[in-house]
Amino acid sequence: MHAQLPAAPPKATSARLRALLGTLAAALLPDGACRLCALPSRAPLCSACQCERPARWRCPRCALALSGPGAACGSCALRLPAFAGALAWSDYAPPWDRLVSQLKFGDDPALARWLGMLLGQCLRAERPGWAPARWVLPVPLSPGRLRRRGYNQAWELARGLARELDWPCDCRLLLRRRDGPAQSTLPLARRAANLRGAFVASPLARGARLLLVDDVMTSGHTAEQAARALLRAGAGDVRVAVLLRTPAAAPR
């Protein structure tokens, strides 16, 4: 039986404080302990936590968790995103959300590469119809944010996934040319405008299949704008793989 997990932080808690708490919790875990349940584990996540993923069904286009099998979620049925499909390993919800704090602020790129391997295994098992990508690309950070953080967790995830699937990986084909507020600090209504024109892609082989990798998808605006830049550069098919997908808001 798993050790009891701490309750989710109150909604009023700031994102920075949640990140600090997640990083502190990871630092206090003994070596050889699962990052989520603290039980003994040789891997960053024990086998039980690797299997305890909440969503059985997901929208094949945007990876939103669904209550039952279906062709697409309501949003994608009304308007298809620029990317042709998406995969998520789990939901951005307790306790899995603590992994993102550890990825972004824990200074542990090896953890990101291991989780990328896990995401690659998930892709192989759950999206067998996806053709191999010509390139695996991380969602880039702006130069300023990359300097402040020291590494891009999406690049480390992409490296782990690419190694698992034996697909080529490149961090130079898609760049973020301007800095701006972090998407997580903005209300959903402002996120699209914050990213408009933020990405630029190098010329690509006409019709190339690409896989875009990131840690979290919430509104989908980041993946949307990055995919549009890649399609303008010549890509024929852009798909997305994220470690965690934010669930739809519960109806009031």
Q: What is the CATH number of the domain that holds 111?
A: 3.40.50.2020
* Residue 210 included in any domain: yes
Closest alpha carbon to 98 in 215, 186, 187? 215
Kindly state whether residue 120 falls inside one of the protein's structural domains. Answer: yes
212 located within any domain = yes
Average pLDDT on 170-184 reads 81
Q: Are 202 and 230 a contacting pair, CB within 8 Å?
A: no
Handedness of CA 91, 95, 97, 102 (dihedral sign): negative
d(Cα 90, Cα 196) in Å, to the nearest integer?
27
Non-local (6+) Cβ contacts of 165 within 8 A are: 120, 123, 124, 132, 136
pLDDT on residue 182: 63
Percent of the chain with pLDDT over 90: 65
Cis geometry, peptide bond prior to residue 94 (ω within 30 degrees of 0): no
Q: Is 211 a residue whose pLDDT tops 90?
A: yes
| Token pair 């190339």: residue | 208
Q: Give the domain range for residue 123.
A: 57-245
Residues ≥6 apart with Cβ < 8 Å to 130: 85, 123, 239
The pLDDT confidence band at residue 132, using thresholds 50, 70 and 90, is very high
- Pairing between strand 57-58 and 65-66? antiparallel
Statement: residue 8 has pLDDT above 70: no
pTM of the model: 0.83
Tokens representing residue 252 in the block: 């009031």
In a domain, 21, yes or no: no
* Domain-located, residue 241: yes
* AA letter at 166: D
- Answer yes or no: is 36 within a domain: no
Whether residue 10 is contained in a domain is answered as no
Whether residue 190 has pLDDT greater than 70: no
Spatial CA neighbour of 212 closest among 63, 118, 110, 86: 86
What token pair was written down for 233? 């550069």
Distance between CA atoms of 157 and 117, rounded to whole angstroms? 8
Whether 231 is in a domain gets the answer: yes
- Number of domains the chain is built from: 1
Residue 158 CA from chain centroid, whole number:
10
